[in-house]
A and B are shown apart, each in its own frame.
Chain A
Amino acid sequence: MALDAGLVGRSYPPSAVYEVGREKIAEFATALGDPDPVYRDPAAARAAGHPDVIAPPTFAIVLSLGAGNVVVEDPDVGIDYSRVVHGEQRFTHHRPIRAGDRLVATATIDTVRTVAGNDMLTTRVDLATEDGEPVCTTHSMLVARGPA
């Protein structure tokens, strides 16, 4: 089923506040096998010029995955999740995500395309502090493979 081009620009209500914790950042860095103390030790982070421990460049996926689900679950989008693969991902950091951040995620459908029977859906997620400071923008492109 081809995605409806009229979905482009559709925006979803902002998420609940996600508070970024030092332990979550350390857990994520460990899952990447990355020993850098800037992810664990506030003193090391300050020595590198950051107010607290910062998150790895791909940490924002934790928030954008959740925010992107509202799009996949939108009945108007009607995507078959069992046929979905992750096609592309982009992170644009306005500043590093750091421990103590209280972030709100807002998802918007950026582009829809159908190529050779495959639906391609790009969702933009804007991450900002609850006070409105932009922190990170993510773009996720999902491919729903058409029936063979």
Chain B
Amino acid sequence: MTPRQIRRLADVQVGAELPEQTSRVTRADLVRYAGASGDFNVIHWNERVAREVGLPGVIAHGMLTAGLAARAVTSWVGDPGAVVDYQVRFSRPVVVPDDDAGAELTVRGRVAAVGEDGRVRVDLTVTSGGDKVLSLARAVVVLS
């Protein structure tokens, strides 16, 4: 097993950028996430119902988008247990077409604050097809 590299507080500066992360979300991913999370809301798998309630089509679970965005932080830190706070505001649905390519999700992150107590705030920008899908996405990690 390769030793785990956990990011150190001394190596983190305000303004540092996280590696950009790109994911694809397909209908199959929505089904898998519904089962894992227990969120079976029909707008995440039924095109007919999604359109009936005024959506452009089947949309991704907001918490799937948020969970994928959090990965950018946990892989950058090296220890998901370092995340002490994570908050998101959903601004625009991620429409997932019924094809093999699905929707693309791009996550960028930037260190916004570093506290002497080891608390580091990372602000994320999460977009799909060029549109911001989270109007706020912010994680606080504790590093030593």
**Residues of the B chain whose Cβ atoms lie less than 8 Å from the Cβ of A88:** 87-90, 136
**Residues of the B chain whose Cβ atoms lie less than 8 Å from the Cβ of A31:** 29, 32-33, 35-37, 64, 67
Which of B32, B53, B89 is A30 in contact with, Cβ under 8 Å? B32
- A61 touching B90 in the complex, CB below 8 Å, given contacts A30-B36, A48-B79: no
**Residues of the B chain whose Cβ atoms lie less than 8 Å from the Cβ of A89:** 62-63, 66, 87-88, 90
**Residues of the A chain whose Cβ atoms lie less than 8 Å from the Cβ of B38:** 62, 65-66
**Residues of the B chain whose Cβ atoms lie less than 8 Å from the Cβ of A9:** none
Closest to B84 in A: A93
**Residues of the A chain whose Cβ atoms lie less than 8 Å from the Cβ of B6:** 48
Which of B53, B86, B136 is A58 in contact with, Cβ under 8 Å? B86
Using a Cβ–Cβ cut-off of 8 Å, how many residues does chain B contribute to the interface with A?
38
In the complex, what's the smallest C-beta–C-beta distance from B110 to chain A, in angstroms?
18
Using a Cβ–Cβ cut-off of 8 Å, how many residues does chain A contribute to the interface with B?
39
Please report the C-alpha to C-alpha distance between residue A7 and residue B134 in the assembled complex, in whole angstroms: 29
Please report the C-alpha to C-alpha distance between residue A85 and residue B66 in the assembled complex, in whole angstroms: 15
In the complex, what's the smallest C-beta–C-beta distance from A99 to chain B, in angstroms?
13
- A91 touching B1 in the complex, CB below 8 Å, given contacts A32-B67, A56-B67, A96-B80: no
In the complex, what's the smallest C-beta–C-beta distance from A44 to chain B, in angstroms?
7
In the complex, what's the smallest C-beta–C-beta distance from A144 to chain B, in angstroms?
13
- Subset of 27 A-B contacts with CB under 8 Å: A30-B36, A31-B29, A31-B32, A32-B33, A32-B71, A33-B23, A33-B68, A36-B75, A37-B1, A38-B79, A39-B80, A47-B1, A48-B81, A50-B81, A56-B67, A57-B86, A58-B86, A61-B63, A65-B37, A65-B38, A65-B39, A87-B89, A89-B62, A89-B63, A89-B90, A93-B84, A139-B87
Q: Which residues of B contact A (CB under 8 A)?
A: 1, 3-4, 6, 23, 29, 32-33, 35-39, 53, 62-64, 66-68, 70-71, 73-75, 79-81, 83-90, 136, 139
